[in-house]
Amino acid sequence: MSNTTHTTAPIPLKYQEVPPTTADLDYADLITLDLSLFNTLKGKHQLATQLKTAISTLGFFYVTNFGLPPTKIDEQFGIAQSLFNMPADEKMKFRVDAKKQGFFGYKPAGSRPAKFGLRDNLELFDDPKYSDPYKATERPAALENKRKECEEFGRHMHFHVLYRLLYLCGIIMELPTPSALWDLRNYDEESQCHLRYMLYHPRTPAELEIMEKNKLEENVYGHTDFGSLTLLMRQPVAGLQVRVEDANGEKKWKWVRPVENSLTVNVADTLSFLTGGYLKSTVHRVVLPPSDQRHVPRYGVIYFSGPNDNTLLRPIESPVLKRILGEKPREGENVGLQGRDLPPDTTTAGEWVRVRFGSIDKNYQTNKDNAVEIGNRSTVVMNPVWNHHSLFFGLSGKPIYLYLMSSDTHFNHDVKCTRCYGYQNLDMDTPGMNAHRSAIHTNETVTDWKIAEILSMIRLKQARRKHNGNSGHGAIRLSFPFTGQLAFASQGA
């Protein structure tokens, strides 16, 4: 964090007893699913009917009667408090290290620079599944001492809540086997399913002054989640907002109300991709709490779910999609039903998560929304680089083709997405467009810093075009060997 000391207010023994805000907030109108109805055939279809419109238009909803008493939720928040009260040097032993345990582990607050000299105020620990692929995971004492409770809680979220919700999604998509989306995940295989314990530290007076001066309210920029469904235990301190769109297409941020004894659930990227964009992965953000809660630490417990890492993000065969899209094949299509880019259908769930994680630091620094949108919309995608541009690049053992597209340019209908994720047959691919190759070492693996080098080359090429009286738009192609594994990304601002 900053050099200023953070002060926190005393909180009740049970975190759920933190008094609600008295502020008059503009709340989103979310439906509530009573999951106890799932136990009968009639109840399943009643829930699916209730959920269908909400999950395909807003992507956020509440769940009640999800099979756990309030004491189990209190217990998890108690574990979170014990975890973050541990000495800093003890917690840092479990720092996230992608080379050791992927993206799981501890992240201290203040580790990401933000705008105006601020740093993020989010401290978290991502705890993987208690299953064979992660049996070597080392955990802090606060979690090890409650290992049984943590494992049982995570398994309940997975096998009880997640199963029921994905089954309902299968009914909504009219799948012959309603459990088909659930069947894409095996608890004993590698995936991004995990529990997150987190703490938003209250901002200091000095930080609040900077934020007020610069009209900055976000603690976390607008983003979509990476996986399938996100299950958020009730947070009594307000801060979550969802971006909604009215009948006129106007977008507005609305607060998500903390409803007692409920989960807040939202659709995430991979589930949206697997349903061709029919189920909506909605942009949301975390802002400063209302003034009467701004001094209270904002703890959180979340279950993030995702399919097996090797799952291809290829839209399922669904009568719903066929009615909307017709019988045309998926190959070459790159836009989902929500007007959002779909990754190439040879992209895996694990690859998508790696790409998304690579964008986080840049988004904090620019405070730009992290979501893939295309067409005439003004917000775009990951790792903001240029206003109203998207950079598509594919990485494989074959040559890479990078195309910088202006926002008013569209792929022609002959574009096909190849196995190496290249986009070909573009009208704008004219002779003489190749950027210089001197900065790319052809025998090296392309890594994140290489991508930055590539972007610099493209900016240089744009500048040269403009100097010669051209617009700087159109395609810029670089071709070179590659042996890495960053499968796909698209960028813009």
Domain assignment present for 432 = yes
Domain assignment present for 311 = no
Claim to verify: residue 77 and residue 182 sit in the same structural domain: yes
Task: Tell me which of 246 and 376 has the higher pLDDT.
Answer: 246
Claim to verify: residue 385 and residue 489 sit in the same structural domain: yes
Domain assignment present for 138 = yes
| Range with the poorest average pLDDT among 38-47, 150-159, 216-225 | 216-225
Task: Tell me which of 411 and 252 has the higher pLDDT.
Answer: 252
Claim to verify: residue 22 and residue 122 sit in the same structural domain: yes
Task: Tell me which of 352 and 174 has the higher pLDDT.
Answer: 174
Domain assignment present for 420 = yes
Domain assignment present for 3 = no
Total domain count, the chain:
2
Tell me the pLDDT tens digit for each residue of 422-452.
Answer: 222 222 232 222 322 222 222 233 333 344 4
pLDDT of amino acid 391: 33
At 82, which CATH number? 2.60.120.330
Which one of 257, 283, 304 terminates a domain?
304
Give CA–CA dist 140/188, Å, rounded: 22
Claim to verify: residue 187 and residue 292 sit in the same structural domain: yes
pLDDT of amino acid 333: 47
Task: Tell me which of 359 and 405 has the higher pLDDT.
Answer: 359
Please state the rounded mean pLDDT for residues 115-143.
Answer: 93
- Give the pLDDT band (50/70/90) at residue 398: very low
Domain assignment present for 84 = yes
pLDDT of amino acid 389: 27
pLDDT of amino acid 463: 57
pLDDT cut 90: percent of the chain above it: 52
Which one of 283, 304, 325 terminates a domain?
304
Claim to verify: residue 375 and residue 284 sit in the same structural domain: no
Claim to verify: residue 201 and residue 65 sit in the same structural domain: yes
Claim to verify: residue 189 and residue 100 sit in the same structural domain: yes
Claim to verify: residue 287 and residue 349 sit in the same structural domain: no
pLDDT cut 70: percent of the chain above it: 66
Give CA–CA dist 266/306, Å, rounded: 13
Claim to verify: residue 344 and residue 264 sit in the same structural domain: no
Claim to verify: residue 298 and residue 414 sit in the same structural domain: no
Please state the rounded mean pLDDT for residues 219-228.
Answer: 86
Claim to verify: residue 288 and residue 411 sit in the same structural domain: no
Q: Inform me whether the pLDDT recorded for 160 exceeds 70.
A: yes
Task: Tell me which of 140 and 466 has the higher pLDDT.
Answer: 140
pLDDT of amino acid 27: 97
Structural domain harbouring 341: 336-493
Q: Inform me whether the pLDDT recorded for 458 exceeds 60.
A: no
Domain assignment present for 328 = no
Domain assignment present for 267 = yes
Claim to verify: residue 291 and residue 359 sit in the same structural domain: no
Please state the rounded mean pLDDT for residues 394-412.
Answer: 30
pLDDT of amino acid 102: 65
pLDDT of amino acid 344: 72
Q: What are the CA-CA distances from residue 376 to residues 334, 400, 473, 474 (Å)? A: 15, 27, 16, 16
| Range with the poorest average pLDDT among 185-199, 304-318, 420-434, 475-489 | 420-434
